[in-house]
Amino acid sequence: MKLVVNAILGVEMQAIAEAVAFGKTSGLDRGILLDVLSQTAVIAAAHLGKLGRAALNDYSPQFPLRLMNKDFRLILDLARAENVHMPAAEAAFQVNNSLLPSDGDKDFSAIMRHT
């Protein structure tokens, strides 16, 4: 069950990071973007605090990126063993994995630093 929940948590964080990048490149102010997103129904409660902390560039670990990476690896290994295709989780894992050298000990929301 933990891996099921963390699959959603990690993929949603990747979606938020991509949406923020899209908004910024479309000319929206990052601070306003994070504030407005935090007031929408589409942001899960687990991510609300992450948006506020991202606005302050605070990526101190609550759930380190390296542990999310470990869980993504377990999720994808189990999915492959059960022949379950998880393209969104695979894509999020690839981004997560690429950031391990610089952000492995930061919170998993640190993927937003790169948007």
- How confident is the model at residue 114, as a pLDDT? 82
CA distance 54 to 113: 8
| Residues taking part in catalysis | 2
What top-level class would CATH report for the domain 2-114?
mainly alpha
DSSP-assigned letters across all residues of 40-88: STTS-HHHHHHHHHHHTT----SSBHHHHHHHHHHHHHHHHHTT---HH
Entry pTM: 0.91
Kindly report, residue by residue over 39-97, the tens digit of the pLDDT.
Answer: 999 999 989 999 999 999 999 999 999 999 999 999 999 999 999 999 999 999 999 99
